[in-house]
Structure 1
């Protein structure tokens, strides 16, 4: 029996909240393998919260489906079970806030600006913006999830700026630096962010390897921001 088939069977047998069944399924099925449990929990978080975001927005576009597939590479034998989990989560009577509160436990310590929760937010932003528009309902959804994840406003602004469409992103916000900072200090911050957001770091903290595209997108945004600042400073 495959991983997601096992989880789906747990959830489908539930007469109550799908959320409660998913959490219990993960705890039960992978009690002897904490690392695998965290990887599966991360995957379920993306499935469940993206399903809830689609419900909040009211529609699921093909662009969003493709974006989901880009960051969630599902083996052919698991696709049916993942689709069924997605539908169960979307139809669940529990609100998205209950899902987010449970997923916040992935951090364990409850530390503010937890990196694995930032990874989840990045994935949700990637899906939300796929149709070329970040809708108001999606923005409200993402902001509330960030609050539950204990992501502070300045950190959330950095995450959001990485996903601003077109050429409207503020490069200083992306890098989390002051516009009055020296180029040397900006470069130091940029290099630290590049190291912190390397795909190997994501995998080490429990993010499945299928999600490295999130890290690649993040690094591209950091590189573009630094290059823009460097270019602007040369023109002064």
Structure 2
């Protein structure tokens, strides 16, 4: 059974007139985590699209890069997106429900934020409304500013990324301390770890861009210490 079939089943359980936000209260078990993650990314992407006022072809393509959508599953993905766009519930309410759904699992919530950054930057433009949107979502998720800035630095090309920010470390830390953080990030980016956190297998490809960014940052920091 594909994840999109399971998503359609989750939507079918909604009572007539019930908000899409209600789905997040029902997908709490380990077996539902991949479905919950996919719906969360789609729903918040739809709310983010309303934040900057448009949905570009590039953003649609980027979503397809995060989740492989077969032709027969396109209707299901479109239904989730449209339900979220039309839902009177605000994105803050969605974010709170999603936070409750994943609890203190900030690793999965950061994975979700990465998917949103990937989609937001797909058109090579980062709208101020998208920045405010993602910053508020991160705040609701309980992601501290250092971790948010690390996520942002890996995606937003508004300046040369600071390698310490990319890794989420303080420049005063020793090289060995920074090495441990880097190794932990690499370990957490392994596909098996990501699937274990609840990401659908289709979304694990997000780790490729993350690994490029964190490895480049580590190499730059190591070179500075060697100089």
Q: Name the TM-score, length of structure 1 as normaliser.
A: 0.87
1:98 corresponds, among 93, 100, 111, to 93
- State how 1:101-140 maps to structure 2 within 5 Å: 101-108=96-103, 110=104, 114-140=106-132
- Contact 2:109 / 2:141 at 8 angstroms: preserved in 1? yes
Structure 2 CA distance for aligned equivalents of residues 146 and 8 of structure 1: 26
The reply on whether 1:61 has 2:56 as its aligned counterpart is yes
Aligned residue for 1:130, secondary structure, equals coil
Cα distance 1:133–1:83, how it changes in 2: closer, same or farther (>3 A)? same
Structure 1 CA distance for aligned equivalents of residues 101 and 24 of structure 2: 11
Structure 2 CA distance for aligned equivalents of residues 194 and 75 of structure 1: 30
- Contact 1:5 / 1:78 at 8 angstroms: preserved in 2? no
Q: Which residue of 2 aligns with 1:9?
A: 12
Cα distance 1:5–1:192, how it changes in 2: closer, same or farther (>3 A)? closer
2:164 corresponds, among 157, 162, 172, to 172
Q: Which runs of 5+ in 2 are unaligned?
A: none
Structure 2 CA distance for aligned equivalents of residues 167 and 229 of structure 1: 17
Measured after TM superposition, the shift of residue 76 of structure 1 is: 2.8
Structure 1 CA distance for aligned equivalents of residues 115 and 95 of structure 2: 14
Measured after TM superposition, the shift of residue 10 of structure 1 is: 3.5
Structure 2 CA distance for aligned equivalents of residues 123 and 193 of structure 1: 17
The reply on whether 1:42 has 2:45 as its aligned counterpart is no
Q: Which residue of 1 aligns with 2:146?
A: 154
Q: Deviations over 1:77-96 (max 9, x none)?
A: 22111111111111111100
Structure 1 CA distance for aligned equivalents of residues 39 and 110 of structure 2: 15
Structure 2 CA distance for aligned equivalents of residues 146 and 181 of structure 1: 25
Aligned residue for 1:202, secondary structure, equals helix
Q: Deviations over 1:17-37 (max 9, x none)?
A: 2322x336x54xxx8xx3331
- Tell me the number of residue pairs that the alignment of Structure 1 and Structure 2 aligns: 224
Q: Which runs of 5+ in 1 are unaligned?
A: none
Cα distance 1:89–1:172, how it changes in 2: closer, same or farther (>3 A)? same
Cα distance 1:7–1:192, how it changes in 2: closer, same or farther (>3 A)? closer
Structure 2 CA distance for aligned equivalents of residues 152 and 122 of structure 1: 15
Q: Deviations over 1:124-157 (max 9, x none)?
A: 0000011111110000000110011011111111
Structure 1 CA distance for aligned equivalents of residues 202 and 179 of structure 2: 30
Measured after TM superposition, the shift of residue 168 of structure 1 is: 1.2
